[in-house]
Structure 1
Amino acid sequence: MRLLCGVAVTILVFLPSGTLAQFLNDTSLTGMISGAKMPNPDAKMMVEADTVAYDMDADSITATGRVVIYYLDHVVVADEVNVNRKTRKVTAVGHVEITDPSGNVVRGDRVDLDDDLANGVVEGLELVTSERIAFTARNATRTDGDVTTFNEGVYLPCVDCNGVKGKKPIWQIRANRILHKQKDQTIVFENATFEFLGVPLAWVPVMSQPDPSVQQKTGVLMPSAKRSKTLGYSVSVPYYVALDPSYGLTLTPSVYSRQGLLFSAEWRQRLDSGQYSVTLSGIHQNDRDAFSGTSGDELWRGSVESSGSFTINQHWSWGWNVAVASDTTFMKDYDRKSGNSDVAVNNLYLTGVRDRNRFDMAAYGFFVQQDDAQTPIFAQDHDLQEKQPYVYPVIDHKVYAKDPIWGGEASLTTNFTNITRTKDDIYQIDMNGNGVFDAGDKTRTRGAAGTFDRFSIDAMWRRRMIDQTGGALTPFLYFRGDAIFSDPHNSSVLPETSSGLFGRAMPAAGLEYSYPVAITSPIGNQIIEPIAQLIARPNETEATYIPNEDAQSLVFDANSLFDYDKFSGYDRVEGGTRANIGVRYSGSFSHGFGVSGTFGQSFQLAGVNSFAKATSYDTGSYSGLESDASDYVAGLSLSTKTGFLASGGVRFDNDNFEVNRFDTQILGIGGPLTAALTYAYIREQPDLGINDNRSELQAAASLRLSENWRVFGSSRYDLVNDEFVRHALGLAYDSEEFSLSFSYSNDLTTTPSDQTFYLRAGFRTLGEVGSSVGLAK
């Protein structure tokens, strides 16, 4: 008996476990959809079709004509679906498409599953995962409820590549058979050919990789190859050991033709509150003479690197960074992760943030990664590691008042710093510029030997008010207080009287007044704002008796013109009565064109000028603030909707208006071209060892030749000596499934010049392979 239900029907069907409901929810379809999940026997299935027929004798249901089935977030689309309850077989025919809750899609001409739904056949298969990775096959067969075999299979790293409908990837893997072993979570390619642009490039009898659902799996990672003068040719082959979903070990043997075997092991672990890693590297060098005259002239060399970051709760976090080596150049010579800087910063930190309040505590140690002999000739320097400080700890805490005080904003900042250095950090300046150091040359100080503790408190209050004429009046008060313990043992920098406990207080009262004038016209809106700022305070005390560790960097420009205290740290505090005068301008014009700028000058009105005070650190020298009337400073920036941006700053001499410092940056993006140009000029500063003007020009550009191809390059040119300093040039291809770059760099600051070639290729889902060749080392 056969019962036919009308046209374009929607039916809610209750089916027992083991029929179409289980078929949809079981991963047995291909073994590569989503994780298995027991079907809910009470779940409802919705079937949309032109016609649904019930065959009572055969105990089967057949839906035909634009069939769409919804069940437990699965969707099945086909021309016809038949469910035979008696044989417990499910057949979908004609433009079959099945989508699971994870977004994986299976397409085929016909899908047949057997009575237990663990085995079956799919004809004309195409499987597209949620990561848009695809498998195609003439047919696919599932056996033993575990292994899916794709016959005449093709693996595609993407579908609709780069977002273009129907675009094919430029590489694929074709195999006689592709086996997906669900329990092992592996994909095995048998008799596999790697095709690039349709051309077979490589063949392997068997190749395996983790399936797309695997986050980590034991196996060999992409190797890399390099070459350098001191190391020879090298090959590194990382091997990852997946011990647990939360931790794993990467073992990387690297063979160097000149130096032998370097072994590296990296342990990484993810915990509930964060993650950490530890890397150990070591080598017994075959040819230590390759590093003759440097710290690398050792038989055994190695390093330890570690980092970690953890969350305590929503407000607090902590972590560390550690990088130390057997010698100063090991991590640079062997391209360790921490070897890309002259100093590796080791720290242990704790951070708390809540609302507008912040707490930071950290301890620091510094590992020097350059030989003494590599320091510039104008700054004769030795024993660099011994001169590095140990900071344990530095604590910063800043709190803002929740409610206004006297109608204004109030904040309290505290800082505690303990620092120890075993040797004075002093270097000698070649005043004559002839490379000969003698007793008449000047010395400069970067740090004093000894132990120093400082506790600082900085309380600030300010209130902004608008008067009846539209002017903005901002009175402010602040207080800096410091307690300093100084023990400069074995130091020749600080005077003998600098030992002991010192106190320092700096109360200040100030007033800032600005009068913005708005100009509106058909071409745009402009604001001109004259600003006058007056700060009254006593003279700075104790500057010559205490160390200066955190306030040696001083750049006076338009950005710092209206800073209440222009020193960069706590060890120095600006004193005396000072006025800062200037004007700000901003304009917004039609077509998205914008201009902003600042021009002004600073005046020491009374008291001792802190920037002219003589100390062994020479912090204020050539700053433009050492005279009672400072240099003039100006800054200007331009922005457009067309992709053109420009900014610059200049400092003019107060006496003759000559340029003492100038820098500008220009960035342009137009069509396929992106270019940047930077110019910097610093006037000679003989007392600081800069005997000639410095003027440099840097340029960088990237030109997109097509949708995927681009060329890029950069260059740095010394305008004073009329010579290039550094070059870089490269060609790159970028697409979703494949990337390739070839570049060349030449650093002319070394002798001989450091020339390096880089080659890198990246394959989506497979990984990266790279090689570099250095011609100088």
Structure 2
Amino acid sequence: MTFPFFLNTETWAGRACLLAAVSALAVSAGILTAPHSASAQNLDFFNSEAPAADEDLLLEANNLTYDFDRDIITARGEVQVYYDGNTVQAAQIVFNRGTQQLTATGNVIFLDTEGNILRTEELQMSEDFAQAFARSLQIDMPNRTRLIAEQATREDGNVTVVENGVYTVYTNPSRPAGKAPLWRIRSKTIVHDKQEKVIRFEQPSLEFYGQPVLYAPFLSMPDPTVKRHSGFLIPNWVIADKLGFGANIPYYWALSPHRDLTTTFTPLTRQGLFVDVDFRQKFRRGDFSLSAGGIYQLDPDQFNTQRADSDMRGAFRTTGTFNVTGAWNLGWDVTYKSDRAFFEDYSFTSWGGNETSRIYFEGLTERNALSFNTYGFQIAQADYTSSNFNADGFSPVGSNLQSKQPLVLPVVDYDFVFADPVLDGELSLAANFTSLTREETDAFSIDGGTNARFRGVDGTFSRLSVDGNWRRTFVDPLGQTFTPFAYMKGDLFFLASPDADVTALAGESFVGRAMPAIGLEYSYPIIASFNGGNQIFEPIAQIIARPNEQRIGELPNEDAQSIVFDTTTLFDTDKFSGFDRAEGGTRLNVGLNYKLQLNSGHYLTGLFGRSYHLAGENSYKVPDILGATQDSGLESDLSDYVGSLYLDTKYGVKLGTQARFDKDDFSINRLQAQASAIYGPVVSSVAYAFLDAQPNVGIDDTREELLGSASLRLQENWRVFGSMRYDLQNSNVVQDGVGVGYDDEGFSLSLSYSEDRSRNDGDTTNRLLFFRVGLRTLGNTQIQSNAINN
């Protein structure tokens, strides 16, 4: 028979001892965190406060007795205690009010509100928690980690000692009973000093499948109540033919609760000592970091002279983001490196770097946005060595490509959408101001040097653009959609260039340009339902009337050099990618959109169409100073055809493709296709790309590549994977890689090898060997072999 009792804790303070003890025991496995990580778990499992006086406690037992003579309360037989969301059960619970000792015995199990489960055979505790003892202890945490110990003792209310402790992760349920886990940490004694907030391990060892592989005489680390603590982190390893063998040895400095510093020393057998530092500071409204690394190379001749021409090599990077007000943010990401290939040769740096540096200040509200940006570029590409593209007066051979990169200061963008309708339609404004300075003209030639093409012009180039857009949508009773629209673009250019022959702006400081336009977009979705799904046929037409584009070929083109004509840009009113070009003339865009949706889960969508130049001068036919538009598929009055198709099946197979077909013979001028599939243990993807020749920009041959990757799961935990990028036109492998990996509930391992022949940095092949080992909750270590080149 079970006797339930509702007891007020104010009348029996000691009855909370068990709950307080086991509650703290359940969070005792956070003992192996990295020096700089934090955990809510605590090895000091006897440190717990008594419950509040107004909380009720429910005790259920088959038998409950009170010995008045000895002042002992005993609960026996399926004892269960419920208190404040916590549950404990035991065969017997005894509370000696005379000695103020509480003892729970017999399959003691405790479940706390955080999901921790504690199991022990015996638990003893004094009322003031200063002394305690637990025997045959096991704690399972929600993060699938486990602590097992023969016994645990608390002394003097401060020091907790665990004897013969083992820390590991949950084993897979399919693992045979009694079989040792893949890895575990065993220590003869674990001592937690609450006052010093330090956990000490005596004679710890790392075991794999029950066999010790790594010993240490002692190990200490901060207890989990310390969020950040100074100490060594797990090292990584480096192997490279130009660097030699080395090890990253990081040390973490917890300078304050809001700042830290990581210093990493990497001795390399061939090049010497590489040192990098990473400082981080957090404020109430933001944070920033400052990182730097460098080396004095012992053998600089190992590297290509185009990559590095100095014994001293290094870089620094700083990042930051701050909320100035609720809507305004200030930030930056700035990198400087001593040479173009620094991060490729020394890719093991802990903080990395970007080729593009940016400083920004931006504000965003519901209907408007304003941003200020500054950009700088440090490229990794080597200088040209071929004279095939020499331009008269602007030879790329022997010139410094870095000096041809602009400093963009500033780029200002403003976008605003009016809250109230204007003529019952939506009115929006966009403005852009860009100013950039380039030290050297970036030019090339495709016809032996007589006709130069310009990617950029030296000097200072500035442009102010304003764009106003209005549109309104009508839907008639038949479901036809009519969207009239209008826009007005205005630009003001300024160019100060020392090369008087570059453009027709010589002698003209300012040039203005305006482009008004009106248009109408029409669509009529027709829905056809059938047994098993539905399909939609939607013809779409768009007509735009505007004057001719002004000053084509006379103005710099910095941000509208990429012309990609496909279904994603078919119905763009202006298909140029930036502000420096403005599409002119009257144009008609038409297409047919199709969608098929099956109740079984299959989904298919496609779009096919083309563009017609109806009147005026075709902006894509007249070349600008770069000439990129002449092979765009839009340079004739009848454009190429464009189409796209996307298929998604419920069986894990997905297919997507974009294509541009020649207007005369329907041959393929551009094609991109991707497919992915998951079938059983195989995960695979393949991509195909075809680009026809573009003689107007110096590309005389077609380009055709195939990219594939696959992963095969051999057993429950083992997998092999590989990838390849193949140049079909030249019949050679551009990139390839292969690897093997192991992953289970607490351990991961991977070994991969890859080759890259696509880098234009003075080396023909870059090889990378990567080895990684990870122990869940403890950390990762890796061996990286990089910069192995031929």
TM-score (norm 2): 0.90
1:504 aligns with: 513
Mapping 1:472-511, distance limit 5 Å: 472-490=481-499, 492-497=501-506, 499-511=508-520
**Following TM superposition, by how much is the alpha carbon of 1:701 offset from its aligned partner in structure 2, in angstroms?**
0.9
Matches within 5 A, 1:301-380: 301-312=313-324, 314-335=326-347, 344-373=355-384, 380=396
| Amino acid across the alignment from 2:239 | R
Choose which of 177, 197, 218 in structure 1 pairs with 2:209. 197
The amino acid that maps onto 2:693 is: E
Task: Please give the alpha-carbon distance, in whole angstroms, between the structure 2 residues aligned to 1:7 and 1:200.
Answer: 49
Secondary structure of the corresponding residue to residue 641 of structure 1: coil
Question: How many Å separate the matches in 2 of 1:767 and 1:205?
Answer: 20
Q: Does 1:526 align with 2:539?
A: no
Aligned residues: 763
- 1:768 is aligned to 780
Q: Per the alignment, in what secondary structure is the counterpart of residue 217 of structure 2?
A: strand
Out of 647, 669, 672, which is 1:638 matched to?
Answer: 647
Aligned residues of 2:348 and 2:784 also touching (Cα < 8 A): no
The aligned amino acid for 1:532 is A
Q: Which of 155, 158, 168 is residue 156 of structure 1 equivalent to?
A: 168
Q: State the shift of 1:489 in Å.
A: 3.6
Q: Which shifted more, 54-63 or 698-707? A: 54-63
In 2 relative to 1, CA 17–388 (structure 1 residues): closer, same or farther, beyond 3 Å?
Answer: farther
Residue 224 of structure 1 corresponds to: 236
3-state DSSP of counterpart to 1:654: coil
Q: Distance in 2 between matches of 1:351 and 1:97?
A: 56
Single out whichever of 733-742 and 358-367 deviates more from structure 2.
358-367
Matches within 5 A, 1:664-703: 664-703=673-712
Q: Deviations over 1:42-79 (max 9, x none)?
A: 23241321243333343343333333334455443322
Matching of residue 608 in structure 1 with residue 610 in structure 2: no
In structure 2, stretches of 5+ residues that fail to align are: 29-41, 391-395
Please tell me whether residue 585 in structure 1 is matched to residue 594 in structure 2: yes
- What residue identity is the alignment partner of 1:400? V
Following superposition, the deviation at residue 312 of structure 1 comes to 4.0
CA offsets per residue over residues 199-229 of structure 1, 9 Å max, x none? 2222222233444555432221111112222
Does 401-410 or 383-392 show the bigger shift?
401-410
How far apart, in 1, do the equivalents of 2:455 and 2:59 lie? 80
1:19 aligns with 2:14: yes
**What is the match of residue 745 of structure 2?**
736
8 Å CA contact 2:773–2:782 kept in 1: the answer is yes
Per the TM alignment, residue 562 of structure 1 is displaced from its structure 2 partner at its CA by: 0.8
Aligned to 1:727: 736
Aligned partner of 2:376: which letter? G
- Give the drift of 1:561: 0.8
Q: Distance in 1 between matches of 2:508 and 2:158?
A: 78
**Aligned ranges for residues 91-170 of structure 1 at < 5 Å?**
91-158=103-170, 169-170=181-182
Aligned equivalents of 1:334, 1:451: Cα separation in 2? 35
The one of 468, 493, 496 equivalent to 2:477 is 468
1:458 aligns to what? 467
Instruction: Specify the SS of the correspondent of 2:336.
Output: strand
Q: 1:533 to 1:58 in 2, by over 3 A?
A: same
Q: Return closer, same or farther for 1:37/1:399 CA change in 2, 3 Å cut-off.
A: farther
- Within the candidate set 745, 762, 766, 1:754 is matched to 766
Contact 2:181-2:208 at 8 Å conserved across structures: no
Question: Aligned partners of 1:340 and 1:724: how far apart in 2?
Answer: 28
Corresponding position: 1:55 with 2:67: yes
CA drift of 1:274 comes to 2.8
Where structure 1 has 5 or more consecutive residues not aligned to the other structure, the ranges are 1-5, 432-437
Determine whether 1:420 maps to 2:432: no
Bigger drift between 764-773 and 111-120 goes to: 111-120
8 Å contact kept, 1:52–1:63: yes
CA contact (8 A) 2:13 2:50 kept: no
Which is further off, 621-630 or 497-506?
Answer: 497-506
Separation in 2, partners of 1:53, 1:13: 18
Do residues 709 (structure 1) and 718 (structure 2) align? yes
Residue 550 of structure 1 aligns with which residue?
559
Q: Does 1:239 align with 2:260?
A: no
Contact kept? 1:487, 1:498, Cα under 8 Å? no
**1:86-111 CA-partner distances (Å, limit 9, x unpaired):** 32212122222334454444321111
> Shift of the alpha carbon at 1:549?
1.3
Q: Give the Å deviation of 1:623.
A: 0.3
> What is aligned with 1:405?
422
Deviation, 1:560, is 0.8
Tell me whether 513-522 or 254-263 shows the greater mean CA deviation: 513-522
| Secondary structure class of the residue paired with 1:620 | helix
Query: After the TM superposition, which residues 410-449 of structure 1 pair with which residues of structure 2 at under 5 Å, given as runs?
Result: 410-429=427-446, 439-440=449-450, 442-449=451-458
In structure 2, the CA distance between the partners of 1:339 and 1:88, relative to structure 1 (3 Å rule), is closer
Letter in 2 for 1:172: R
Report the residue type matching 2:525 in the other structure. Answer: P
SS at match of 1:631: strand
| 446-455 or 528-537, larger mean C-alpha shift | 446-455
CA distance in 2, matches of 1:456, 1:546: 14
CA RMSD of aligned residues (A): 2.9
C-alpha distance in 2 between matches for 1:247 and 1:168: 41
User: Relative to 1, partners in 2 of residues 1:244 and 1:507: Cα closer, same or farther, differing over 3 Å?
Assistant: same
SS in 2 for 1:762: strand
Distance 1:277 1:164, change over 3 A: farther
1:178 aligns with one of 186, 190, 197? 190
Give me the whole-angstrom Cα distance separating, in 1, the residues matched to 2:176 and 2:290: 42
Letter in 1 for 2:191: L
Residue type at the aligned position of 1:47: L
TM-score, normalised via structure 1 length = 0.92
Deviation of 1:601 after TM superposition, in Å, equals 1.3
What amino acid is the match of 2:495?
Answer: S
1:718 is aligned to: 727
Contact 1:46–1:69 (Cα < 8 Å) also in 2: yes
The Cα offsets for residues 714-773 of structure 1, whole Å up to 9 and x where unpaired, read as 111111112221111111112231111011101234654322221111111221111122
Equivalent position of 1:3 in the other structure: none
1:776 maps to amino acid: N
The yes-or-no answer on 1:617 pairing with 2:614 is no
Contact 2:236 2:781 in 1 (8 A): yes
Instruction: Name the SS of the counterpart of 1:332 in structure 2.
Output: helix
- Residue 663 of structure 1 corresponds to 672
CA distance in 2, matches of 1:176, 1:647: 59
1:242-261 to structure 2, matched below 5 A, reads 242-261=254-273
2:5 alignment partner, one of 4, 10, 19: 10
Alpha-carbon deviation of 1:17?
9.2
- Looking at structure 2, the residues matched to 224 and 197 of structure 1 have their Cα atoms a distance apart, in angstroms, of 24
Q: Which moved more, 1:491-500 or 1:272-281?
A: 491-500
Q: Distance in 2 between matches of 1:356 and 1:127?
A: 54
Candidates 533, 538, 542, aligned match of 2:547: 538
Residue 16 of structure 2 aligns to a residue whose secondary structure is helix
1:23 offset after TM fit, Å? 5.8
Q: Distance in 2 between matches of 1:682 and 1:553?
A: 14
* Distance in 2, Cα, partners of 1:576 & 1:76: 81
Q: Who is 1:32 aligned against?
A: 43
Instruction: Tell me the percent identity.
Output: 39
Contact kept in structure 1, 2:466 and 2:489, CA below 8 Å: yes
* Secondary structure in 1 matching 2:343: helix
Matched with 2:32 is none
